[in-house]
Structure 1
Amino acid sequence: MHRRMIAPGALAAATLLLAIPASAASHSPGAPGIGDPYHPYYGNGGYDVSHYDLRLKYQPATDELEGTATIEARTTQDLSSFDLDFLLDVSEVRVNGATAAYASSGQHELVITPKKPLAKDTPITVVVRYSGVPSTKSAYGFTTWHRTPDGGIAADEPEAAWWWFPSNDHPSDKATYDVSVAVPDGTQAISNGTLQSTGSQLGWTRYNWRQNKPQATYLATLAIGKFDITTNTSEGGVPVLNAYSRDLGDNAGAARASVERTGEIVDWLSGFFGPYPFGSAGGYVPNTTTGYALETQTRAYYSPKQFAGGSNTSVVVHELAHQWYGDSVSLKGWKDIWINEGFARYAQWLWSEHEGEGTAQELADWVYASHPAGDPFWTVAPGDPGPDDQFDIAVYDRGALAVQALRNEIGHKAFFALLKGWPQKHAYGNASVADFRKYAEQVSGKPLAALFDTWLFQPAKPAAPAARAASLTKASAPTAPPRSWKKIEATNDVHTR
């Protein structure tokens, strides 16, 4: 045995260390990021959330938001402290009933230090009381809280939660939600899931929403304003709630003509993707200057600009397809965005075929022929596009081309079994592009590494499949797009801030 001499002055330090219980000495801070290379400081390490209970009060006239968030979680390591992603002003934090120290750090970190260290694999309850004016807060130079003439909305990707509730903001940590919002009488509050109840007292009306299926934080939405609300049930039995700002102007008719087909489209998509995974469906169109749409779970967000050219069911198809591909089955990391966007775009191609406005193959041929080999379009790899190109049009269009190439390779029967089987295999969970390839190989019985590499990862235009090469020569390439293309193209900025 080698005996090491203790340097002068070290004995006191060693004695102090021995005085600290071993269980406390082993505790360490949770990481300020969950480990996603695209967004290193999104999400946090050390715990897993199971439920968010948000009790809010919002004043549209001043954009003031007050809230108490109760977060149910379980530790995944011994913790001396942990982070939440949040921007508003905090007045109190409690962990397991005891007051906890807290401090802001970085762009959007709330660092919480409980009175007692937390052991691994134990349930914890975190209560955060807060207030602020969301529209005055920014991180990385932007805000995802948008004021409207009569309220405000929270809907954005890949982040939106920081502006209205503290969270572990990464899709890999999904949870259920209760969202209770008090607003002045005559104003409405809309969120995800189903409306449990409303009540009015002293000039304020409280709306109580519940999402009882796991939901990623960026898919949580809040819309406050004055809306016309419609409710119905699809023929397949799915309750539908849609909402439209009362001051949409010229876009109001087209928005309604499109979004009111939600129930029909949900039933139609169920034929491809399997049973609708949630207890309600719908969408809302606020009076906002933003231009994008987003698949906020069960209650898709649509900018009125999506309907500036008239009714557009294609964007509704896109966001509703995400309820299976992106919402129920969420990505493991943001590099897996192709599973969300490639399949939502392909659903638009299937809808085009359904409406008799161009087949999926015709749309694939048009996209392929529209981009010459030197086009930068081909340098973006949908299977891992990088954080700067996460929502590049290539992730959508080249991503859908990859889906069509897969369909042609494995055949229609295996392809449609795959479309339906994937959302059931990973329902309410998370999965990666690698997981999808493995599942596609299992369903089809074919090796698919080369096909996935060619269409999703190589920074070059793939050679046309032999079966299509003759029809895609320069002399015979498509000279005009299918009739649906204009409407599909109008949705190119669905997720562009």
Structure 2
Amino acid sequence: MSTNTGNTSSRLVAAGSALLLGLTGAVVTGTAPAAASGHHPTPGAAGLGDRLYPLLGNGGYDVQNYDMHLTYPKKDPAQQVRGDVTITAVATQALSRFDLDFGGDNVGGVSVDGRRASFSRSGDELVITPRHAIGKRHRFTVQVSFAATPISPNASSPAGFVKTPDGTVLAGQPDQSHNLFPSNDHPRDKATYTITLTVPSGWSGTANGKLVRTRSRDGYVSTTWRESHPMASELVQVVAGDFITYVRKPVNGTPIRDVVPRRLAGKLLPVADDERKELAWLEGKVGRYPFENYGSLVIDGNLGFALETQTLSLYDSGTFGLPTVVINPIMAHELAHQWFGDSVAPWEWSDVWQNEGHATWYEVLYADETGTLQEYADVPTLDAYYKRAYSRGDQYRAKYGPVGHPLKADVIWDVFNPNVYDGGALVLFALRQKIGVAAFEHLERAWVAKYRGRSASSQDFIDLASRISHQNLNGFLHAWLYGTKTPPMPGHPDWTVTPV
């Protein structure tokens, strides 16, 4: 995610599925009596215990795949959407019941392994009790029919299942995807997805990954998309409406497609053209692009942020109305997220600095290496940029909490705050000063290679940095990530912080 508010000089643009409890031994398919597994069945936890979002995600199972169908009955962005989802999961404990996250309008029915199951709702928890308990390590399927209605975003809650003048999109980060579809809505439980969108003829439907098939029947068009790489629920994208898809020339074999409102195509498509240059540049920095394809989705509106939905980054027309010296680094920021945040997801939301710090790092570096840093950030050099960020360090820590420990999550901006953007990038600058440019660049490539398709913690990053640099960086990086005061900057003893 990047924010597009504030002035240019201070812009803060802004494996497989990770196992919840660790699976060992063979996976047995089908729902079996829990006694067969040798474990007494108990309820799965209603939440993973994330410090910032305690009820996001659910315990007791690991999702392998989502197969979701959404139907848009008419050409109306404000309409209620009907859906059904089949979730394939593996039990990590013997389950007497389990939860899904869901905050949509209603649930029509639930079945487990083809047998109708009882369910209830408690807030955003969909509590499911199967006819028979599920044994540990057993693979099972859950089918849920549901309905949801898009919202108009507002300043305090701009994300969600969003309506626009041309149709609807999904901005699920960090805790909004389950307001559209039932899920294990935490980045720790990544899964593959098949998404089918059925829309009236004249509309189009686009989702993450590759187009598998298109079918037309009785005045409706159904398109099926497959994201075969593990994806966090907060990165799902489903766009339906009067949009067109524009295909650009591939970059090193990666297909590029952009999705924009039909009526604004002539205005918006030229702005996105720099993404091809950015993709080649980032592959040169951190290695091969990790997914099937890439592109930009632009809506007519003003969300106040851009969002790295997997394979199709979301922007608003407010962002695309900015000067290119601002837009291009923002686009580099969202593209960098495909490696940092999408392919390598945070273990918990306190680790969001890994997403935003890295994306900001490459955003600023792109501006610098394309010769636009002065115009973009009102500073002549990278050192000047990070000296300015360093001066704000104690103020940011006092207001928002340490870089790796945001104080709260009452509203989205509590978590996606300046200290995880510029503060996170400043941690990386300090680390590069500490271990040297060569070791730092090696670390960046090793990080996205080692944890590709997985979720990783800040301690995982510290451990890998220590191993690659042949230094024990626990004390150094703990001070930078969790200290209430900004540590001294290696190589710049003259840098000072502004008092709180």
Are 1:365 and 2:378 counterparts?
no
Superposition map of 1:1-400 within 5 A = 26-58=40-72, 59-61=74-76, 62-86=78-102, 87-105=104-122, 107-135=123-151, 144-248=160-264, 253=267, 255-311=268-324, 312-358=327-373, 359-369=381-391, 371=392, 380-388=401-409, 389-400=414-425
Q: One-letter code of the match for 2:194?
A: D
TM-score, normalising length from structure 2? Answer: 0.84
Shift of 1:289: 3.5
Q: Give the Cα–Cα distance (whole angstroms) in 1 for the partners of residues 364 and 275 of structure 2.
A: 17
Shift of 1:216: 0.2
Q: One-letter code of the match for 1:350?
A: L
CA contact (8 A) 1:262 1:281 kept: no
CA contact (8 A) 1:60 1:152 kept: no
How has the CA–CA distance of structure 1 residues 378 and 150 changed in structure 2, closer, same or farther, with 3 Å as cutoff? closer
Q: Say which is worse superposed, 317-326 or 29-38, in terms of deviation.
A: 29-38
Question: What is the DSSP-based 3-state SS (H/G/I as helix, E as strand, rest coil) of the residue aligned with 1:66?
Answer: strand
4+ aligned runs moved over 6 Å, structure 1? 20-25, 140-143
Q: Please, which runs of 5 or more residues in structure 1 have no aligned partner?
A: 1-19, 478-497
Are 1:409 and 2:434 counterparts?
yes
Q: Give the Cα–Cα distance (whole angstroms) in 1 for the partners of residues 288 and 158 of structure 2.
A: 38
How has the CA–CA distance of structure 1 residues 375 and 24 changed in structure 2, closer, same or farther, with 3 Å as cutoff? closer
Are 1:463 and 2:463 counterparts?
no
CA contact (8 A) 2:307 2:314 kept: yes
CA contact (8 A) 1:378 1:459 kept: no
Q: 1:441 aligned to 440, 453, 466, which one?
A: 466
Q: Say which is worse superposed, 83-92 or 413-422, in terms of deviation.
A: 83-92
Q: Give the Cα–Cα distance (whole angstroms) in 2 for the partners of residues 275 and 210 of structure 1.
A: 20
How has the CA–CA distance of structure 1 residues 278 and 145 changed in structure 2, closer, same or farther, with 3 Å as cutoff? same
How has the CA–CA distance of structure 1 residues 156 and 377 changed in structure 2, closer, same or farther, with 3 Å as cutoff? farther
Q: One-letter code of the match for 1:93?
A: V
How has the CA–CA distance of structure 1 residues 167 and 372 changed in structure 2, closer, same or farther, with 3 Å as cutoff? closer
Q: Give the Cα–Cα distance (whole angstroms) in 1 for the partners of residues 400 and 129 of structure 2.
A: 45
Q: One-letter code of the match for 1:148?
A: T
Question: What is the DSSP-based 3-state SS (H/G/I as helix, E as strand, rest coil) of the residue aligned with 2:96?
Answer: strand
Shift of 1:473: 7.1
Q: Give the Cα–Cα distance (whole angstroms) in 2 for the partners of residues 121 and 463 of structure 1.
A: 49
Q: One-letter code of the match for 1:367?
A: A
How has the CA–CA distance of structure 1 residues 348 and 377 changed in structure 2, closer, same or farther, with 3 Å as cutoff? farther
CA contact (8 A) 1:93 1:100 kept: yes
Q: Give the Cα–Cα distance (whole angstroms) in 2 for the partners of residues 229 and 261 of structure 1.
A: 17
Q: Give the Cα–Cα distance (whole angstroms) in 2 for the partners of residues 195 and 398 of structure 1.
A: 38
Shift of 1:374: 5.2
CA contact (8 A) 1:379 1:459 kept: no
Question: What is the DSSP-based 3-state SS (H/G/I as helix, E as strand, rest coil) of the residue aligned with 2:214?
Answer: strand
Q: Say which is worse superposed, 282-291 or 172-181, in terms of deviation.
A: 282-291
CA contact (8 A) 1:183 1:205 kept: yes
CA contact (8 A) 1:247 1:287 kept: no
Q: Give the Cα–Cα distance (whole angstroms) in 1 for the partners of residues 88 and 36 of structure 2.
A: 27
Question: What is the DSSP-based 3-state SS (H/G/I as helix, E as strand, rest coil) of the residue aligned with 2:295?
Answer: strand
Shift of 1:361: 2.5
Shift of 1:146: 1.3
Q: Please, which runs of 5 or more residues in structure 2 have no aligned partner?
A: 1-33, 374-380
CA contact (8 A) 2:159 2:173 kept: no
What is the number of equivalent residue pairs in this alignment? 448
Question: What is the DSSP-based 3-state SS (H/G/I as helix, E as strand, rest coil) of the residue aligned with 2:439?
Answer: helix
Question: What is the DSSP-based 3-state SS (H/G/I as helix, E as strand, rest coil) of the residue aligned with 2:99?
Answer: strand
CA contact (8 A) 1:407 1:415 kept: yes
Identity %: 36
Shift of 1:60: 3.8
Shift of 1:345: 0.3
Q: Give the Cα–Cα distance (whole angstroms) in 1 for the partners of residues 285 and 222 of structure 2.
A: 38
Q: Give the Cα–Cα distance (whole angstroms) in 1 for the partners of residues 88 and 393 of structure 2.
A: 52
Shift of 1:386: 3.1
TM-score, normalising length from structure 1? Answer: 0.84
Shift of 1:373: 5.2
CA contact (8 A) 1:216 1:327 kept: yes
CA contact (8 A) 1:291 1:304 kept: no
Q: Give the Cα–Cα distance (whole angstroms) in 2 for the partners of residues 124 and 326 of structure 1.
A: 28
Considering only aligned residues, what root-mean-square deviation do their CA atoms show, in Å? 2.6
Q: One-letter code of the match for 1:145?
A: F
How has the CA–CA distance of structure 1 residues 121 and 36 changed in structure 2, closer, same or farther, with 3 Å as cutoff? same
Question: What is the DSSP-based 3-state SS (H/G/I as helix, E as strand, rest coil) of the residue aligned with 2:205?
Answer: strand
Q: Which has the higher contact order (CA 8 A, sep 6+)?
A: 2
Shift of 1:246: 3.1
- Larger of the two Rg values belongs to structure: 1
Deviation per CA, 1:324-347: give whole Å up to 9, x if none. 111111111111111111100000
